[in-house]
Structure 1
């Protein structure tokens, strides 16, 4: 695991207040930033370069919440290496229509649109429509676990770091719970088939 010295060398963590030639004191804002760095590199699986981009955006008070989330999303998308063919225009049209029906305001260049178009080409449209309804409900619940006041998105960097830390952690927890739930239900189905066959 990288040390604080490594984070200092990589300019991810600002220096503390020197107290001796080889010692420094770090304050609460350092701890918040350190926690975020560890969440981004751990649960978020981001590279050091991607973490640097996210932190740069967090430190800029002019970067709005939606732009900050987009930067985080792009940083996470760099992990995905795909050899999937480009989805056909009909699949992209279905995704565009779906997002319009949902009234979701999503940038045209959002990489998740391409991912959804690939899924639409493989699965068909009905499955995506049902998933979109479920996603809307789940995200509404997830956002209830974040601060209701929008101020932390635009306030001090430490407040914004706390919100991003919670968001990445909730996202990782949701993904883990979803996978565990699928495993559970597949196990239950297999057990029922075994009992029925005996």
Structure 2
């Protein structure tokens, strides 16, 4: 297919497709004439993956390039590719360490040891968890840490489900891509499901006592106001 058809199929503009090629995210098309290139289904699939990583996963062009480089490296173990994608999603630490940060680091180290997790002591994901707990401490909600093991239980079940999906693929390229998709887009799915569950739990706990839920399932809202 020509670049115009690739653009129509994916909804990505021609200039953007060319930009991704220049940036090394998308392989160049096969030259069919001195000024024409043809693209195939592999280009369409890669382009859709790029857009998903960017639009849903929130990765930058540089982050996507690093992830795709890992995906395309046939010598890199799948575990390392999965780690690359996870590292790109982890929040980066900002600011200088303070008492809350150091205390949160101790809490995370205890959690990791208690769970027997085989993870690095100072990787981006660990630092992201430390940062989140430190922020909770700063706003006076350190009691939330009582839920850490409950969260860890749920996280382990989700991780097992993710890797079960990945293991369905026997070919390395499909396996690696599913690992990346499961890591990056799975986070978006999990976040959305959590919020939906929150709305449902809130409606069940408080909705009926306050006159029912609104059209989105949350207690109160426009529907309640109109009935007053």
**TM range, normalised to the smaller chain?**
0.7 to 0.9
Equivalent position of 1:108 in the other structure: 121
Q: Which range is displaced more, 92-101 or 118-127?
A: 118-127
> Which residue number corresponds to residue 119 of structure 1?
133
Residue 142 of structure 1 aligns with which residue? Answer: 162
Q: Which blocks of at least 5 consecutive residues in structure 1 are unaligned?
A: none
Aligned residue pairs total: 191
Pick from 15, 24, 34: which aligns with 1:11?
A: 24
Uncovered stretches (5+) of structure 2, i.e. residues with no partner: 1-11, 213-228
1:127 offset after TM fit, Å? 1.3
Map of 1:91 onto structure 2: 104
Separation (CA, whole Å) in 2 of partners of 1:139 and 1:119: 21
Compared CA separation, residues 25 and 90, structure 1 to 2 (3 A): same
Q: How far did residue 192 of structure 1 move?
A: 2.5
* Paired position in structure 2 for 1:132: 152
Measured in 2, the distance between the counterparts of 1:123 and 1:143 equals 32
**Contact map agreement 2:166 2:175 (CA 8 A) in 1:** no
- Give 3-state SS (helix, strand or coil) of 2:122's partner: coil
Q: CA deviation at 1:124?
A: 5.1
Indicate the residue corresponding to 1:40 in structure 2.
53
Match of 1:179 in 2: 195
SS in 1 for 2:37: strand
Bigger mean CA deviation after superposition, 115-124 or 53-62: 115-124
Distance 2:145 2:210 in 1: 33
Whether the aligned pair in 1 keeps the contact of 2:167 and 2:175 (CA below 8 Å) is no
**2:69 matches 1:49:** no
Q: Does the residue aligned with 2:25 lie in a helix, a strand or coil?
A: coil
More relative contact order, 1 or 2 (CA 8 Å, 6+ apart)? 1
Higher Rg of the two aligned structures: 2
Which of 70, 87, 96 lines up with 1:74 in the alignment? 87
Query: For structure 1, which segment, 64-73 or 120-129, has the greater mean C-alpha deviation from structure 2 after superposition?
Result: 120-129
Distance between the aligned counterparts of 1:39 and 1:188, measured in 2?
A: 34
SS of 2:49's partner is helix
Aligned pair in 2 of structure 1 residues 49, 88: CA closer, same or farther (>3 Å)? closer
